[in-house]
Amino acid sequence: MRLKRWRPIIIKDIRLRVIRENLRTLMRLAVDAEIKRLDYLEDLYRQKRINHKQTPSQWLRELFIYDKKDSIMTALDSSILRCSEGSTCKSREVMPLAQDISTLDKDMVWNPLLRHWICIDCFNFYYKSESARNELEEFLKQDDF
């Protein structure tokens, strides 16, 4: 997204919340299945490489699979499917589940400074005040970062 302001996506209708959670779950399952398939293919090519039976075209396919898996993981990290705060996510404290599962039913907020999504709990804890957002913006403007 190219928004320049903090954008909360809050759904109040309970039926729409259920639909949102189900769609996020389906997308997450599809991503997991694709990563698992790419892992399997990557292991096959790795075994051929270890046994010195890999052709140059198979080496290129292995690199393509690696790049595709990397791009999927990068897209997942910046997607609305999970909070980008990672292990410090406040939703995990409320509901001690895995990071990918704990935010499937949460409202999310677009962080324009870091260009990713955070859950509403993390937004309220870390960035609710204008001064906290300005502090993050000043930190990102530093030459060292």
Tell me: the pLDDT tens digits for 60-107? 999 999 999 999 998 888 888 888 887 777 776 655 555 566 677 888
Number of structural domains the chain divides into:
1
Residue 42: what pLDDT? 94
Work out the pLDDT band at 3, boundaries 50, 70, 90: low
Q: What span, in angstroms and rounded, lies between the C-alpha atoms of 34 and 19?
A: 23
Q: Is residue 2 part of a domain?
A: no
107 assigned to some structural domain = yes
Residue with the two structure tokens 């090519």: 45
In a domain, 134, yes or no: yes
Range of the domain at 87: 7-141
For the chain, give the percent of residues with pLDDT over 70: 88
pLDDT of amino acid 106 = 85
At residue 26, the pLDDT reads 93
110 in a domain, yes or no? yes
Q: Tell me what pLDDT residue 119 has.
A: 87
Burial class (CB within 10 angstroms; exposed 0-12, middle 13-18, buried 19+) of 78: middle
In this model, does residue 144 exceed pLDDT 60?
A: no
Bridge partners of residue 109, in order along the sequence? 8, 118
Q: Residue 101: inside a domain, yes or no?
A: yes
Residue 1 lies in a domain: no
Residues whose CB falls within 8 Å of the CB of residue 56, separated by 6 or more in sequence, listed in order? none
pLDDT for position 131: 79
Structure tokens at 105: 């039913």
Does 67 fall in a domain? yes
Task: Outline where DSSP puts E strands in the chain.
Answer: 7-9, 108-111, 116-119
pLDDT single digits (tens) 27-61: 989 999 999 999 999 999 999 999 999 888 999 99
The verdict on residue 115 lying in a domain is yes
